A and B are shown apart, each in its own frame.
Chain A
Amino acid sequence: MRNRLLIGTTLALMAGWLLPVLTRVAAQAPASPAYRAPRTPDGKPNLNGIWQTMNTANWNIEPHPAGPSPARELGAAGAVPAGLGIVDGGEIPYLPAARKKQQENYANRLKLDPEIKCYLPGVPRATYQGMPFQIIQSTKHIMLIHEFAGAVRTIYMTDQTEAPADSWMGWSNGRWEGETLVVDTKGFNDLSWLDRAGNFHSDALHVVERFTPRSAETITYDVTLEDSKVFSRPWKMSMPLYKHVERNAQILEFRCVEFVEDLLYGHLRKQPAK
């Protein structure tokens, strides 16, 4: 009786342990032969739709506990939720001086975070910033239209050139590798951040993103970043993109310039005569 119980329990435990492990491993793997996305009329994997991430990366891409808001008035509404992090290995491989700079950024984030000033978010922050974006896919161009500040990314699939000048959102050239859209972006300025915790880059940033459909409503989004002025080696991050499936989903305006004018220029307001 006891032996059978032991065997039964062991088998149950093994099943209970193995199955979730296998599922987890499969979920983290890039496009396996398992899922083949429906095609657009021109024969490419169809990435059209409105997408959004569900994680705390915009607060801090490294693992982090929950914490208070730097803006006292917002109380819990502006506080930071905990996150297990999206950086492969848990830690960004900063050069020592760069890690110091990140810490200074963090200490002064209320003043320095470009997101607060409604500046264009850069890449890949725009992806996980917490607002939806729409992928508009045609043969020559794949557009990523972000709700935050109406930020725009044009991915050139043909007529590819080098970045003509530095910009906030970089200059993106794309190609298909089987089921995966590979986007290679350079030509960044050094003014955007990677999150609200002061993680940053220089104008040497080079980002390679891989969008791989993993189911009808999810995409695996893998990113490799390198920046010889800031990081000691290339490093990766990964997360799912979730599709908006509600009827009539659409990107709405988040024209935030108006919302920050008082913050930026209020001190230049004419004061009433004393």
Chain B
Amino acid sequence: MKRTVFGVVAAVLLAAAASAAQTPSAKQTRPYKAPRTADGQPDLQGFWTNSTYTPLERPDGVTKAIYTPEEAEAAIKLAVQRESAQTEPGTTADVHYDFSQFGLDRSQSLFVRNLRTSLIVDPPNGKIPPLTEEGKRRTAQRAEDAKKLGGRWDSAESNQLDDRCLIMAGPGPPMMDAAYNSNYQIVQPPGVVMILTEMIHDVRIVTLDGRPQPDAKVRQWMGVSRGRWEGETLVVETTNFNGKNPFRGSDENMKVIERFTRLSDDTIEYKFTIDDPTMWTRPWSAESAMKKTVGPIFEHACHEGNFGLYNTLVGARLEEKRQAEEALKKGSK
């Protein structure tokens, strides 16, 4: 336990020291003790980001767990280049969000630097464990069900969850880098930790009073979270997922255990373990961090402004009509 903590702290601090964009945090000679909220909770409050270039799984061809600072920089640089690659105006390829143009790409905002080659630390190979037999069956079933929905533009329901403005990667749990606007706000009134995810204004209210998990019939997209403090660490257990938003293929039986520990004024260590015995042969764990960022968080009224989905479907229907008419013309010749 102690060794892992030290390892993360070391990795993060080294990264902080190496990065030019970061203000080096004070070199600590003894463990940091977070300030307290009015009811005595370690204070995690504020605005945080988990934006990072570190992938969840170790890239193919990489075997080590930790990059050297130079290797880490090079990996980041490569990713930034890909993100800001310009496309030819007027071509189909140009019809997409140019994140870098609007300052939304990761490199133009604060992001968490990390020397790790993957967020996954267990299994040691940095990859999600193999599926169980049941897991394989469910994955195949899912694929078949998805096929039944037809093509991506056949209906709203056959689109991706984020395009439908249902839920994005940020809230989880576990909370993942959202690609942009990867921001959170934590507020702690007595007995509760509230985590607001910018996209899509998703809120988890984590109770700390030891109440049991609700009946298995109550299921939610973000599950139901129950929290407790273990020393300086907030441990959050989440169950009762509805299974409609698989996390890397998870199902409704997934249990997520998150651990939040404030390491410094501007860093929260964020670790999570995924335990889904119907899907995977063993639990797996990852480590990341959240960095203090500048507030406030703006309203993300995704569904209310979802012209994209509507227009895409209209366009697809028009395209079909056009093709049908052309076929008719050809046929009548």
Please determine whether chains A and B interact with each other in the same assembly.
Answer: yes
CB nearest to A6 among chain B residues: B231
Interface residues on B, range: 10 to 19
The reply to whether A90 and B191 form a contact with Cβ atoms under 8 Å apart is no
CB neighbours of B208 from chain A (8 A): 16
User: How many Å lie between the Cα of A6 and that of B231 in the bound state?
Assistant: 7
- Find B218's partner among A12, A17, A82 (CB 8 Å cutoff): A82
The reply to whether A20 and B210 form a contact with Cβ atoms under 8 Å apart is yes
- Find A85's partner among B191, B215, B229 (CB 8 Å cutoff): B215
CB neighbours of B231 from chain A (8 A): 6, 9
- Find B217's partner among A5, A9, A17, A64 (CB 8 Å cutoff): A64
- Find A64's partner among B191, B209, B218 (CB 8 Å cutoff): B218
A84 interface residue per 8 A CB criterion: yes
CB nearest to A64 among chain B residues: B217
User: How many Å lie between the Cα of A260 and that of B224 in the bound state?
Assistant: 39
B88 interface residue per 8 A CB criterion: no
B39 interface residue per 8 A CB criterion: yes
B214 interface residue per 8 A CB criterion: yes
User: How many Å lie between the Cα of A64 and that of B240 in the bound state?
Assistant: 12
CB neighbours of A13 from chain B (8 A): 228-229
User: How many Å lie between the Cα of A72 and that of B231 in the bound state?
Assistant: 50
User: How many Å lie between the Cα of A248 and that of B32 in the bound state?
Assistant: 57
Contacts A63-B217, A65-B218: A17 and B40 contacting too (C-beta < 8 A)? no
Contacts A16-B40, A20-B209: A65 and B191 contacting too (C-beta < 8 A)? no
Please, what's the 1-or-0 string for B203-227, where 1 marks a CB less than 8 Å from any CB in chain A? 0000011110011011110000000
- Find A84's partner among B40, B215, B242 (CB 8 Å cutoff): B215
The reply to whether A82 and B220 form a contact with Cβ atoms under 8 Å apart is yes
User: How many Å lie between the Cα of A24 and that of B209 in the bound state?
Assistant: 10
CB nearest to A23 among chain B residues: B209
A1-36 contacts to B (CB < 8 Å): 5-6, 9, 12-13, 16-17, 20-21, 24
- Find B209's partner among A5, A9, A21, A90 (CB 8 Å cutoff): A21
The reply to whether B191 and A63 form a contact with Cβ atoms under 8 Å apart is no
CB nearest to A12 among chain B residues: B40
CB neighbours of B218 from chain A (8 A): 63-65, 82-85
A62 interface residue per 8 A CB criterion: yes
**Most A Cβ at <10 Å: residue of B208, B217, B220, B242:** B217
Contacts A9-B231, A21-B209: A16 and B217 contacting too (C-beta < 8 A)? no
User: How many Å lie between the Cα of A251 and that of B91 in the bound state?
Assistant: 65
Closest CB in chain B relative to A197 CB, distance in Å: 11
Closest CB in chain A relative to B236 CB, distance in Å: 15
Closest CB in chain B relative to A227 CB, distance in Å: 22
Contacts A20-B191, A21-B209: A90 and B217 contacting too (C-beta < 8 A)? yes
CB nearest to A8 among chain B residues: B40
CB neighbours of A6 from chain B (8 A): 231
The reply to whether B39 and A16 form a contact with Cβ atoms under 8 Å apart is yes
User: How many Å lie between the Cα of A19 and that of B33 in the bound state?
Assistant: 25
A137-183 contacts to B (CB < 8 Å): none
Closest CB in chain B relative to A269 CB, distance in Å: 36
B21-45 contacts to A (CB < 8 Å): 33, 39-40
A178-208 contacts to B (CB < 8 Å): none
CB neighbours of B191 from chain A (8 A): 16, 20
User: How many Å lie between the Cα of A64 and that of B215 in the bound state?
Assistant: 9
The reply to whether A17 and B214 form a contact with Cβ atoms under 8 Å apart is no
The reply to whether A63 and B39 form a contact with Cβ atoms under 8 Å apart is no
CB neighbours of B210 from chain A (8 A): 17, 20-21
Given contacts A17-B228, A64-B217, 12 further A-B contacts (CB under 8 A): A9-B229, A16-B39, A16-B209, A16-B229, A20-B209, A63-B214, A63-B218, A64-B218, A65-B242, A82-B220, A85-B217, A90-B217
Which 5 A/B pairs are nearest by Cβ-Cβ distance?
A20-B209, A63-B215, A90-B215, A63-B217, A65-B219
- Enumerate 5 A-B pairs (CB-CB under 8 Å) in ascending A order: A16-B209, A17-B210, A20-B209, A21-B210, A63-B218
Interface residues of B, Cβ cutoff 8 Å to A = 33, 39-40, 191, 208-211, 214-215, 217-220, 228-229, 231, 242
